Structure 1
């Protein structure tokens, strides 16, 4: 099978896996224990965290390691919002379910939640954001790179707007952005990402936030990780995550240019076919969303699988639901186009030959 679903998950890098195995063998002690093995594990945990923040060029930030980015988003959003009993929260109509469903829950709790619409590029209007901001705004949560269409929000300008309101904090879901686009992390009050999307291990999400922020806990138990994620710290996975980040940042520009060429190759190869390209030209090259005229996304996915290709149909956390794909619908207001959409996501593991084979398979499916 030729894999084109890297936005759903990535294979573990060999060096990352080797790092994890070695750490599991050498630093298996509980990092809260006061004996030698515990102290060594705690040292390696803090070292991995310090090296991560050096990669991000950040000082005075905290990191909480969770089971996944969904949990990290929940801890971040509830943690900020519930510091106040009321207030405005601003987000978008194209967030990942782990943000959208938290927002709907906060709405039920009485918070004034504003969902900003997007244009056909998948971008919010900065004017709309400016108009939505008030002195009572507690939180703005924006996905950095959309997981369905690859749209890249203007985080620098969004941050400038949020900074005008001292009470408001900016949270960004960086799951599809980290290591793929340039980010000034200092613009963000809180951000989240997932290790398995960057060739790390499944079972590790990360929440980073400014040290002066006080988050209300939603989980209860021990006092480790500031009491926000109680339980035994998975030190080997954290060490492996930092290794994955080092490899990612080291090759970011080279990988970006390589994947951009793959994306452009596929766009060119299918431009004469009766296929709608949903991802805007300025989107992340790692994601290309398209719609075929005569098949819904699930059918196209199955037909491509029969031809030896793995592609996605939407968020990997909710791809088994029968709903109209909300991001594509929000962009184009076209139910059929949204239902027929599939997501092709690239990696440096793919070759140009893989891409041309995929284009040929799509041509066969649309009977051209």
Structure 2
């Protein structure tokens, strides 16, 4: 976390879906900043940066006096260089106490945070204070119920809203459950439970019209740069197991039956890790993913698929599941390349017969039948007769390719 000895100006990074209330929150912070002098960087995907206009209109700031706007792109991808230039220019030309960066509704906060924490001219000028996600709570609940709310997206981003919400929540230090007045007490408790499952360390605040004490967001010092990639509940679940399971009759299967984990008893959620050293039959595995119970709010990991030399990552968020080919298994590479990779990664877990090929999946949820899901996964593994055969399925086999295995 930040300390009083840090020299950089503190930065609060806001994320959240379009319409969640980020601009309302910005105006609230600007109107209640007290003695703080704030600079605001606003990004929007439209040709005209409406959000920046609204912020300027609702505050004492002018567009050319403390508000830097970036249009026609996402600040964490194609406009990364422009973001760096903008924040450096702000530090050089303006006098202010705290910077607030509002990322667009279709971007994740982690890449923005990395700009401020990696070795760069930006990191020398700023210190990330808190990552804040603003949720449209009714839409958040609907997304996980399979009723995906509409969301503006870039041309190449067809991910469902639940994917984006999960990634925004998973790296947050503080989550605002906005529009709480439109939810029942039971719905708010459900939303808090979902957030707790996705990010056990995040604080949650129920808000109406994004009204929150500025001290909870500005100068809170909740961000820890050493843990930005280790915060999500699924990673915590992976790290809580030792990976030592039982080989089934020496046939290469390896299942972790000790991978059950309670992320936080307060939230009533649990997780388990499934590991195997035998590939999945692609069609049977796809069927398991399509039939995951609705109470599974997050599924994540790497799958080994028969007749496919790609490491396939699985990312499920609520009712949607996507599969992406990350790259070839090291064991599938020519001997020279394989040995080079292994020499550079001495800690790589390596099986005498299968090398690095393995399945490692995390499931997080509430009120699900773990035994039934484990059995479904076991039954989806290839049989001895199938192992060497040509098998087809919906999963990608070219690096970088992605498919939607289950629609919301």
TM-score w.r.t. the length of structure 1 is 0.31
* Bigger radius of gyration among the two: 2
Q: Which has the higher contact order (CA 8 A, sep 6+)?
A: 1
When you count strand as a share of all residues, which structure comes out higher?
2
TM-score w.r.t. the length of structure 2 is 0.29
